[in-house]
Amino acid sequence: MKRVYFFIFALFIVAALSAASLAGYGWHLFKSPGPLAVETTFLLEKGTGLRSLSKKLHEKKFINNDLAFVFGVKVEKMGRSLRAGEYLVPPSLSGYGLMNLFVSGKVVERRITIPEGLESREIRELILQADGLVGDITITMPEGAYLPETYHYQLGDSREDLVNRMAEDMRALTAETWKLRDPESEIKTMEELIILASIVEKETALASERPHVAGVFLNRLRKGMKLQSDPTVVYGITEGKRELGRPLSKKDLASENEYSTYYISGLPKGPIANPGEESLRAVLQPMQTKDLYFVADGTGGHAFSKTLDEHNANVRKWRKLNKKKKK
């Protein structure tokens, strides 16, 4: 009988040693550098169980052994702390390091840049084409309601949520910028601020010129002169639904609509684009100038003038330069 007990005890010791050996080997695999050769993204989907995750990681060659990964995560009691998302996994990361990465929630941040001066239809198209966003945009996107900026997002974020975030950022920036307004300014409301800023944005791509352009338009408003801004004519024709696709004609300049500042006095009925922060600030902090006119100077900027005679001379220079370029 003693021999039987001894035999059972010996088997128990062997089994315990074997288990300890297996556990030690599993822990070694869990902590050892993984087989991944290059930095690679991995998507941990919501609702994925630990066993399914470990199999996928092993199949994709992120870890040395799937059972070792399950064992290590359970030993560390992190099974319920793994967070779903898209992760950027460095080469040779161990199973232990991978577990900590998933626990950290440091997912890949994607980004989309919205340039200043785009119409809302153009912003909509950029967001629809952005990789990693989901869902359609079902809400109406009014002109001038969205802040041009670089936005960060994560895989699976909603397109509509991003649109709403852009609108909220525009409201917040406009309200903050409004504090710069001189009580004597010709701009009486935040809506007027966005309208004139959108015109300034479309008139010049040079940040250094925006306060000067804004100063010219404010001077014209003060004197009761029409703004005569070509971009407002374009918007009046297209209604922000398409590209014009051709130069403006004399017939276009004579068109009668609520956007054309060759036809109406004062500001158009709404914004013609989505202005950036610099254009908003330029309207409220314009250059103090007596200039009333400006025209392209052929270098990407504009020639400014105080009188119509000076302006006409600048226009002739521009036309002459333009003819040389065409030849």
Same domain, 140 and 49: no
Q: Is residue 307 part of a domain?
A: yes
Q: How far apart are the C-alpha atoms of 211 and 52, rounded to whole Å?
A: 59
Within a domain: 22: no
Confidence of residue 18 (pLDDT cuts 50, 70, 90): very low
DSSP class per residue in 172-234: HHHHHHGGG--TT-S--SHHHHHHHHHHHHHH-S-GGGHHHHHHHHHHHHHHT-----HHHHH
Confidence bin at 16 (pLDDT 50/70/90): very low
Q: What is d(CA 131, CA 171) in angstroms, rounded to the nearest whole number?
A: 26
Residues 91 and 128 in one domain: no
As a whole number of angstroms, the distance between CA 227 and CA 75 comes to: 73
Last residue of a domain, one of 104, 129, 147: 104
Question: Is 23 contained in some domain?
Answer: no
Say yes or no: 228 and 138 in one domain. Answer: no
Burial class (CB in 10 A: 0-12, 13-18, 19+), 17: exposed
Residue 45 lies in a domain: yes
Q: Is the pLDDT of residue 99 over 90?
A: yes
Residues 289 and 322 in one domain: yes
Chain-wide mean pLDDT for the chain? 91
Residue at a domain's end among 119, 150, 171: 171
pLDDT for 171 beyond 50? yes
Closest CA to 231 of 275, 183, 199: 199
Q: What is the pLDDT of residue 23?
A: 66
Where helices occur in 37-189 by DSSP H, the ranges are: 50-59, 66-75, 95-104, 120-129, 159-177
Query: What is the C-alpha separation between 129 and 293, in angstroms, rounded?
Result: 40
Q: What is the mean pLDDT of residues 270-278?
A: 98
Asked whether residue 327 carries a pLDDT value surpassing 60, the answer given is no
Nearest to 44 by CA among 82, 100, 96, 97: 82
pLDDT of residue 298: 82
Number of domains in the chain: 3
Neighbours of 238 (CB within 10 A): 16
Average pLDDT rounded to a whole number, residues 244-273: 95
Instruction: Tell me the pLDDT tens digit for each residue of 292-321.
Output: 999 998 888 999 999 999 999 999 988 887
Q: What angle do CA 68, 103, 160 make, to 5 degrees?
A: 130
Which helix or strand (DSSP H or E) is residue 85 part of?
strand 85-89
Distance of alpha carbon 96 from alpha carbon 26, whole angstroms: 11
Q: Are residues 280 and 204 in the same domain?
A: yes
The band of 3, judged by pLDDT with boundaries at 50, 70 and 90, is low
Contact of 31 with 95, CB cutoff 8 Å:
yes
Assigned domain for 12 exists: no
Residues 209 and 279 in one domain: yes
163 in any annotated domain: yes
The string of pLDDT tens digits covering residues 40-91 is 999 999 999 999 999 999 999 999 999 999 999 999 999 999 999 999 999 9
Hey, what are 190's tokens?
């935040």
Same domain, 162 and 215: no
Residues with Cβ within 8 Å of residue 20, at least 6 apart in sequence: none
- In whole angstroms, give the CA distance from residue 71 to residue 79: 10
Strand-pair partners of 146: none
Mean local confidence (pLDDT), 165-182: 97
> Residue 134 has what DSSP assignment?
B
The confidence score (pLDDT) of residue 9 equals 44
DSSP classification of residue 64: S
275 shares a domain with 207: yes
57-71: per-residue pLDDT in tens?
A: 999 999 999 999 999
Asked, for residue 20, whether it belongs to a domain, the answer is: no
Mean local confidence (pLDDT), 176-191: 96
Grade residue 261 by pLDDT with cuts at 50, 70 and 90.
very high
Is 287 found in the same domain as 264? yes
In a domain, residue 3? The reply is: no
Same domain, 38 and 98: yes
pLDDT digits (tens, 9 = 90+) for 100-113: 999 999 999 999 99
Q: How far is CA 51 from CA 47, 69, 70, in A?
A: 12, 9, 7
The last residue of a domain, from among 80, 104, 128:
104
37 confidence band (pLDDT: 50, 70, 90): very high
Mean predicted confidence (pLDDT) in 125-143? 97
- Structural domain including 117 reads 110-171
Q: CATH code at 71?
A: 3.30.1490.480
Question: 158 and 268 in one domain?
Answer: no
Looking at residue 76, its pLDDT comes to 95
285 and 300: one domain? yes
